[in-house]
A and B are shown apart, each in its own frame.
Chain A
Amino acid sequence: MVAVMTELPGTPDLRHSLGDRRALRNTVLTVLLWVVAVGAAVPLVSVLYMLITRGGARLGTALFTQLPPAGLEMGGGFGNAVVGTLVIVALATLISVPFGILGGVFLGFVAPESKLADATRFIAKVLTGFPSILAGVFVYASLVLWMGTYSALAGGVALAVLMLPTIMLTSEQSIRMVPQRMKDAAFGMGCTETQAMLRVVLPTATPGILTGVMLAVAGAAGNSAPLLFTALFSNYWISSLGEPTASLAILIYNFSGMPFPNQIELAWAASLVLVLIVLAFNVLSRLISARRV
């Protein structure tokens, strides 16, 4: 049957051909896209490569157990800065996640069309593009001056200010993505608005919300500008939330400008550790959102 058909006169030629202008244009565009994509990947890959070769040289347990060296001292590590970063980011997450999710619930479920929601959404969008140093200045003026000291707490609040809009807007998006018919089903079963929210809408939106949280965390962890005026730095292990606290971002900022090779090496190693922490959060968010059905 097939053989007979191909022998019929006027059978169209279905084979590839570069002579055709349409096919040619298609090929040229494909090649161009590949070139651009590879070009975009070059700087990314080379940064990673430098981080791994220069930062990887010092990687070892000493980095995590020792304190930063002074001046011409050799060796040392940045254990206090790793702990400080984790503490500050954890504080920032604790502050921003409840406010962010509740804000998202308001924007996406309670009163999506209200004037207050429009205004909040607008401000949150503006704030996502807000220079991060301003978050530091804001917290310096409000919290640091009032407490009379730089502190991990102030650093956490500054990062929370940066994380809040991202978490709020991604929560709103994920809540809106919950299909209307699922909400109808919840009300049809006899849910109050609160029950529909807590039992159906939020659980359904959770993977998306968590992805937003992880992205916000990853963005905040590497940010040094807001910590300059808030957590400052410390050469010692953290002993309370109310004192200046070391962080990887500030350590990198300080050490990379020093004229001592040991500190410069440590700055590279700290960059690698920071990238690994951020990467871990990204992978975690991927894993969580992949659980969605």
Chain B
Amino acid sequence: MSVLDIARPATDYVAPQKTVAAAAIDARISEIHYGKFLAVRDTNIAIEKNKITGFIGPSGCGKSTVLRSLNRMNDLIPSFRLEGQVQFLGQDIYARNIDPVVVRRHIGMVFQQPNPFSMSIFENVAFGLRLNRYKGDYKQRVEYALRRAGLWDEVKDKLKENGLALSGGQQQRLCIARAIATEPTVLLMDEPCSALDPIATRIIEELMLDLKKDYTVAIVTHNMQQAMRVADTTAFFSVDISRGGRTGFLCEAGDTEQIFHDPKQDLTKRYISGEFS
């Protein structure tokens, strides 16, 4: 990408095709490199529609790397290289003719650190609408997104105030509102509660459970209780240090119930019993 990639016309904004498959994203990743470093290998995972998929595993096992590969956020890292396919509603988002910028408009992202823009609360939520040259009623869409994010009552009288003036938990909900205002198909969340206190964490967990009615969510969490509380499907990642490197891979994925109560893999069993973290 370069500065000369002037804003693409909004007509690029294709409505996602309806497919019969229950998976919104079907990733078949054989390898992810950062330069020469093999960060992730052999990770095949499906993110099912209207469900919450939790990614758990020890730190450094590539959960963020895999998550960020699902909407091509990693393209911003020059040394990043992926081998494999990531199907989003039937299209391989790593195919040559795919524009990563457009992919990110359909697959939204909420980051570990709340990162509202230094602009008013209203403009934060309206940001994606303006980006997509939305023609409808902004006030209504902003209010709807803020309501979905459970933030409306707290901010409805100060929509003109800067988003950075909110508390951490409120900022994170503002980021969620910002992400869902454009109605993305999938919402990726990378440890969205790790910078928040337990009360703010519970609010966001409730919010996720509410959101899955309309969206598909994938969430990285360092907290196994959180995965148990919110995830329908859980993917356990592990690290392979056998060949001198530190390569992450998907060890086991399945129903959250099954992963936590009847893990098939020995590594999963040891991880959830707290033997290592």
Interface pair A191/B113, CB less than 8 Å apart: no
B108 within 8 A of A: yes
A41 within 8 A of B: no
Residues in A155-196 with C-beta less than 8 Å from chain B:
179, 181-182, 184-195
Instruction: Please judge, given known A-B contacts A181-B111, A187-B76, whether A192 and B1 are in contact too, CB under 8 Å.
Output: yes
Interface pair A192/B115, CB less than 8 Å apart: no
Give the total number of A-B pairs whose CB atoms are below 8 A apart: 77
A124 within 8 A of B: no
Contact code string A187-221 (vs B, CB < 8 Å = 1, else 0): 11111111101011001100000000000000000
**CA distance in complex: A191, B127 (Å):** 10
Q: Which B residue's beta carbon lies closest to that of A203? A: B119
Instruction: Please judge, given known A-B contacts A200-B117, A293-B162, whether A189 and B131 are in contact too, CB under 8 Å.
Output: yes
Interface pair A182/B117, CB less than 8 Å apart: yes
Count class of interface residues, chain B: 35 or more
Interface pair B117/A194, CB less than 8 Å apart: no
**CA distance in complex: A203, B163 (Å):** 14
Interface pair A199/B131, CB less than 8 Å apart: yes
Chain A: residues with Cβ within 8 Å of the partner, total of: 22
Interface pair B131/A190, CB less than 8 Å apart: yes
What are the residues of chain A within 8 A of B118 when measuring CB–CB? Answer: 182, 203-204, 293
B5 within 8 A of A: yes
B156 within 8 A of A: no
Partner of B7, one of A182, A184, A195: A195
Interface pair B164/A293, CB less than 8 Å apart: yes
What are the residues of chain B within 8 A of A264 when measuring CB–CB? Answer: none
Q: Which of B131, B164, B178, B182 has most chain A Cβ within 10 Å?
A: B131
Residues in B95-144 with C-beta less than 8 Å from chain A:
101-105, 108-109, 111, 113, 115-119, 127-128, 130-132
B3 within 8 A of A: yes
Instruction: Please judge, given known A-B contacts A190-B128, A192-B5, A192-B8, whether A185 and B76 are in contact too, CB under 8 Å.
Output: no
Q: Which residues of A approach B to under 8 Å, CB–CB?
A: 110, 179, 181-182, 184-195, 197, 199-200, 203-204, 293
Q: Considering the complex of A and B, which 3 residue pairs feature the smallest CB-CB distances, nearest first?
A: A190-B105, A188-B109, A181-B115
